[in-house]
Amino acid sequence: MVIGVLSRYARPIFALAIASLLPMLARADDQITQTNGNVITGQITGVSNGEVTVRTTTSNGGQATVPYQLSDIKSVVMTAPAELTQVKGQAPDAVVAKLAPLVKAYAGLPADWVLDAMGQLADAYTDLKQDDQASAIYAQINQLYPGSSYTNIATAGQAKLLLTQGKVDDAMTTLQPVITAADKTVSPGASDARAYAAAFLVYGQILEAQKKFSDALEAYLTVKTVFYQNQTLVDQSDELVKNLRVEDPGVSVN
């Protein structure tokens, strides 16, 4: 009788304990590769003052938080937070509420999802007519990722901001160097593909503003056929194609 009673209560307690550990176990996959080849695993908790903090398990089973210099990091593997998918289809103010804390915590981390978050946050600020905040995000990208393909994301964002201000020609002039570079790229890496996809989405919108619907369609389809590595941007291209076909039902690529 005693064993039966104990097992009856032990099972739910044990299950609860395991459930409480699942979030930590899920985040234990974060991986940093340093420029010297060292690999660090643990939970990336944030970025501040040029350092990435990582929570790791010590040899005695405890927890320790260790900082690593961003300049010593070659690449990062980290699952994107749920907030990035949760904001899909939400109002701009809701997007800002969810993504602003993420960007504040992780801006500077060399991970594509961080740039997704920054891009979507800047777009939300643009939709809210908060142009200064959007410009600040693009400036932050240029500051934190100098010389990288990520700066092309900032350029695309700046072009989109000009477009929303009705400065169509200025938007095209700003974006054209990125489009030219993309057209010369045969086999882009993931970061380049993400940046070029963002640029072609804006390029299509500029062409739509110029009533060049066939060219706009080709720009959107380029995201699906060439720079398709980022599903969020592919989904955006699908939505833009759908809206374009409503505007011009007979549109096709020349």
Give the contacts of 104 (CB within 8 A, at least 6 positions apart): none
Q: What are the φ and ψ backbone dihedral angles of 62, each rounded to 5 degrees?
A: -85, -175
Token digits of residue 190: 């993931």
pLDDT at 58: 80
pLDDT at 73: 95
From 138, 158, 149, 164, select the one nearest 197 (Cα to Cα). Answer: 149
Cα–Cα distance for residue pair 118/141, rounded to 1 Å: 8
pLDDT at 62: 84
pLDDT at 15: 46
The SS3 assignment for 56 reads strand
Tokens 């592919």 -> residue:
234
| Domains parsed from the chain with CATH numbers | 2-77 (2.30.30.100), 83-247 (1.25.40.10)
Burial class (CB in 10 A: 0-12, 13-18, 19+), 26: exposed
End-to-end CA gap in the chain: 80
How does pLDDT run along the chain (254 residues), one tens digit per residue?
A: 444 443 444 454 444 444 444 444 444 579 999 999 999 999 999 999 999 999 988 878 788 999 999 999 999 999 999 998 899 889 999 999 999 999 999 999 999 899 989 999 999 999 999 999 999 999 999 999 998 889 999 999 999 999 999 999 999 999 999 999 999 988 888 889 989 999 999 999 999 999 999 999 999 999 999 999 888 899 999 999 999 999 999 999 98
DSSP tag of 79: P
Tokens 């549109």 -> residue:
251
One-letter identity of residue 98: K
From 27, 194, 207, 55, select the one nearest 120 (Cα to Cα). Answer: 194
CB 199: neighbour CB atoms within 10 A?
28
pLDDT at 186: 81
Tokens 């509420």 -> residue:
97
